[in-house]
Structure 1
Amino acid sequence: RMTRQGLTDLDALSAQAAERLTSLENILSRLIEIANKELTNQPLSEDDYKYIRGFAKTLEGAVIGVEEKGLKTTLVADVHTHILEGQVVEEAVGYVDLIIVACPSLHRTPYGADGSIFLAAGPVLSYYEFKHPMSDRLTDEAWQEMLDSPNRPERPKWYVPLMGNTPEDSE
């Protein structure tokens, strides 16, 4: 809401973009409502499960009209410059990975009985952090090329135990 309001106040938001942000606000409000039920051990309703199952389609509707370039997750940013070394620290998002998490069921659900364990799967953004020559600061386009090349940097050491190896890491 603050983003939409701030951009509206600056007169920097088209009607279509305002509509998309309002749609995203509604989606996030509904997801927060569902998450709060789960966090307080309240059973989810059939409508909640229906919303979760249709979430991908709902989210697609919130980005109608966005150019393909604006939908890419592969972004890079300089976060630190070390002038003496002539390098920058880059933080980047690669392709979307699949995460599978074992979750305890605290109450009976369509997916299991009270106390059972079920698997939840979904997308998660991949993460990279690496040094790069200051004289060749990366653009998003250059990062996307690097990501598809043999010069793709390794994931941070702390990342692999947390997320495991991904198909992208095994290439």
Structure 2
Amino acid sequence: MPNPTRQLGANPAHICATIKTRINLRWHRACPPPPPGFVEPNPAFWREYVRLVERTITLLDAETVFEPSVIAFVQYLRATADEIETSGFTQDDARLDILKSHKNEALLRKASQLMWMDKELQTQKLVDALSGPAFATSEEMRTACKHAIALLRTYADKMERGEMKPQYKDTTDSLSERWNTLAILSRQIETILAKQLSDIEITNSERSILIEYGYTVANAMGYLAAAGDNPRDNAPRWAEVAHDPNVDESLGVATGRARALFVLYPWRGRELLCTGAVLSYYEEWAPTKRLTDAEWKEKLDSPDAPPPPDWLAPILAK
């Protein structure tokens, strides 16, 4: 069940979810407002999920999966370029005041670090300007940022074609860090659920965890900054879970795209209408043919798409 602010791809993070509270009531001062979201009330699931994430990290680490990858670095370059572009640096009305934001300053310094390996003289001058950052005029800043965006995307294209080797320096989106982000979030959600079930007020930091949940999961899944606003359509996934050799049929289960979820959650004598999202689910027995995710997605979008299971009918809206 993904966060309602994101329709993300099928991933272990999808089952880490909160149900966002949507209510418009005037609360008495003596009665604290409800939390910004509720966790699915299944402590056994969350306990096992935390163990699954931690065990997966151990196995991936043992197989050296967390070694830097070209694909990850290419994504990092493009995400950084996208973030500079969407932060307003290149707009015609962009002014030097934009650099008063520490976040924006840090973004340009990060870009300069990604270009340090380019020894071309003009690029080194650009690196010096961005690392400050130091610009005499707004036009100089806009021109430099446009140049930086173009260079970062050029580097990404060349690395993708094998024409350039990545220089791993100060990148913060490594696969191991993303998995650790998911592990930390899972443990935090488990703690919040324990308080939720015991009717204990959560702390301000825990409220922030629920509010920022979607962004945290997006980061764990590799959607950096503005890239999370344009997610890939990769939620549909297919897998074979059982096979009957007597009739040579297999049970395939699959996920589709996210659907809106509405839940009446009991809270201190009231029922709060909450909204969230959940991945659509499909299953069918069919002659053995293992589908790729791309084939399943094509089938899902065709007139031959299977209907959801009958047992889901009572809770599905037409």
Q: Which amino acid aligns with 1:164?
A: L
Q: Does 1:164 align with 2:217?
A: no
Matched, 1:46 2:204: yes
- Residues 1:34 and 2:192 aligned together: yes
Give 1:95's aligned amino acid.
Answer: R
Q: Which one has more relative contact order, counting CA pairs under 8 Å at least 6 apart?
A: 2
Q: What amino acid maps onto 2:271 in structure 1?
A: I
2:251 is the counterpart of 1:89:
yes
* TM-score when normalising by structure 2: 0.45
Following superposition, the deviation at residue 65 of structure 1 comes to 6.2
Are 1:125 and 2:283 counterparts?
A: no
**CA offsets per residue over residues 93-120 of structure 1, 9 Å max, x none?**
11112211101113xxxxxxxx222122
2:67 aligned to which of 1, 10, 14? 14
The equivalent residue for 1:111 is: none
Return structure 1 stretches of 4+ with deviation > 4 angstroms.
none
- Shift in CA distance, 38/123, structure 1 to aligned 2, threshold 3 Å: same
**Shift in Å, 1:128:** 0.7
Q: Which residue of 2 aligns with 1:80?
A: 242
Percent of matched pairs sharing the same residue: 26
Paired position in structure 1 for 2:51: none
Give the C-alpha shift of residue 60 in structure 1.
1.5
Equivalence for 2:31: none
Corresponding position of 1:149: 302
The 2-side partners of 1:8 and 1:82 are apart by: 35
Counterpart code for 2:236: T
Change in 2 beyond 3 A, CA 1:12/1:51: closer
* Larger strand proportion of the pair: 1
Give ranges in structure 1 of 5+ residues lacking alignment.
107-114
In the alignment, the residues of structure 1 paired with residue 206 and residue 65 of structure 2 have an alpha-carbon distance, to the nearest angstrom, of 35
Question: C-alpha deviations, 1:112-171, integer Å up to 9, x for none?
Answer: xxx22212211212211102222x43111111001111101011111112x323xxxx5x
SS at match of 2:305: coil
Q: Is residue 181 of structure 2 the alignment partner of residue 23 of structure 1?
A: yes
Q: Supply the AA of the counterpart residue of 1:12.
A: V
Relative distance call for 1:2 and 1:80 in structure 2 (3 A) is: closer
Return the TM-score normalized by structure 1: 0.79
- When the two chains are superposed, the root-mean-square deviation of aligned CA atoms in Å is 2.2
SS in 2 for 1:57: helix
Q: In the TM superposition, what is the alpha-carbon distance from 1:42 to its structure 2 partner?
A: 0.4
Amino acid at match of 1:131: W
Structure showing greater radius of gyration is 2
1:110 counterpart residue number: none
> Post-superposition shift, 1:46?
3.2
Establish whether residue 102 from structure 1 lines up as the match of residue 274 from structure 2: no
